[in-house]
Amino acid sequence: MRLYLGKIIIVIEANRLNYRLRSTFFYRKLKEYNTLSLIKKIKLLFSVEHLYDWQDKLNWCIGEDAFNYIHTHSQLHLIQVFCHPRLIREQPQLVAYYRNIAALSQKAVTSLVKISVNKFETDDENRYSLTENNALELCKLFNEHISLIIDSSVESFTEEELHGILLASTGAQIDGSWRNAIGEEAEKLVQRLIVKEAKERNLLHAFILRIGTGIELYDSDKSEEQFGNLKKYRGVMLSNHTSILFSSEPDISLINNQGVTVGVVEVKGGTDPAGALERYGAAIKSFEEARRGNVDVKTILVASCITTEVNNRIKNDNITSYYFNLTDILSENSEQYKQFVQEVFSVL
């Protein structure tokens, strides 16, 4: 009975953490996809919408009834609803807008027309251009689905519903990617906790850019933006001449002022109890590699699901210096959180 209750507690704890990670993941991805900005980008083009000709609308798979409905409702703009091939050649990023209005995922688009749209949707510098054929194929696909949506509304389609579809479609895509991103989100969450603690201790000096060799000085006026985009950085520089690096195996490295790794943190965010032992084994391999470079390195394991078997192994191994349950350190007022950050910063 005791063993059974132990398993129930582990499952409940894993589910609790799973949904907490899911919440932060949704928020982070919504900002990453920048969905809300797409609405503003479309509205910026209203002043030039008269420069787009819709005579070829039927060839672009725009339904006649759907077109007439939007055309006769002044609160809705044609470019706000339907995809024009010239517009997405001029503004490739807006492929994301029309794809979401059509309630299609990136995977669905690739499946239906064999075009991968991710690079266009995330191209802030407009490095990639859509070919004439690709723009036409995407335009026809989006408009076909958008027309069906409008026709199904029985002449009641509104701007609020348009925005609702945009967000619902984004949410569906985020949910689809969540299943493969639990571990990654756990890593990001622990990274944010450590960087935020560095700021609270007045140690945060600069962010190390992931691409190139540049750095970005910490700016309190831009802290929300910097903390919300940690994926841009491969670590941070501290004012006491040490640094914290983000990578894989280990997930987080603590570097002293001589360039020596004095601490490593492995984050295992998987919540399936059946895989707990495998995740522990992967962490041990990473710790052993770190020990080969410095026998005195402090090794810290943060796991979201520590079963009885894993707990017993940790207690009996001589490799893991400290281990923490991720759920326990999420609250900054908890004793576990205080102990975790103390162990991290005590070697820096």
- The tens digit of pLDDT for each residue in 237-291 reads 999 999 999 988 799 999 999 999 999 999 987 767 777 888 888 899 999 999 9
In the predicted structure, residue 179 carries a pLDDT above the cut 50: yes
CATH code of the domain in which 189 resides: 3.40.91.10
Last residue of a domain, one of 178, 210, 243: 178
In the predicted structure, residue 56 carries a pLDDT above the cut 90: yes
Threshold 0.85, pTM exceeds = no
- Do 114 and 155 sit in the same domain of this protein? yes
Cα–Cα distance between 192 and 9 in angstroms, integer? Answer: 27
Using a CB cutoff of 8 Å and minimum separation of 24, what contacts does 326-335 make?
Answer: 326/17, 326/186, 326/189, 326/190, 326/267, 326/269, 326/302, 327/13, 327/16, 327/17, 327/20, 329/190, 329/193, 329/302, 330/20, 330/189, 330/193, 332/193
In the chain, the largest separation of any two C-alpha atoms, in whole Å, equals 75
- Do 147 and 295 sit in the same domain of this protein? no
- What's the pLDDT at 216? 94
Q: How many domains does the chain have?
A: 2
Is residue 5 in a domain?
no
Last residue of a domain, one of 178, 208, 223: 178
Cα–Cα distance between 334 and 336 in angstroms, integer? Answer: 5
Cα–Cα distance between 211 and 65 in angstroms, integer? Answer: 49
- Do 214 and 338 sit in the same domain of this protein? yes
- Domain boundaries, position 44: 34-178
- Do 195 and 83 sit in the same domain of this protein? no
Is residue 328 in a domain?
yes
Is residue 327 in a domain?
yes
- Do 163 and 229 sit in the same domain of this protein? no
- What's the pLDDT at 173? 75
The pair phi, psi for residue 147, each rounded to 5°, is: -60, -40
- Do 106 and 57 sit in the same domain of this protein? yes
Is residue 88 in a domain?
yes
- What's the pLDDT at 166? 81
Tokens of 319: 């490799």
- Do 214 and 147 sit in the same domain of this protein? no
Average per-residue pLDDT in the chain?
A: 86
- Do 194 and 318 sit in the same domain of this protein? yes
Cα–Cα distance between 132 and 134 in angstroms, integer? Answer: 6
- Do 195 and 164 sit in the same domain of this protein? no
Is residue 252 in a domain?
yes
Last residue of a domain, one of 178, 196, 216: 178
Q: What would the pLDDT profile of 93-144 be if each residue is shown by its tens digit? A: 999 999 989 999 888 899 999 999 989 988 878 888 999 999 999 999 999 9
In the predicted structure, residue 202 carries a pLDDT above the cut 60: yes
Is residue 265 in a domain?
yes
Is residue 18 in a domain?
no
- Do 100 and 196 sit in the same domain of this protein? no
Contact 207, 215 (CB under 8 A): yes
Is residue 26 in a domain?
no
- Do 113 and 214 sit in the same domain of this protein? no
Contact 326, 236 (CB under 8 A): no
Cα–Cα distance between 71 and 39 in angstroms, integer? Answer: 19
- Do 52 and 190 sit in the same domain of this protein? no
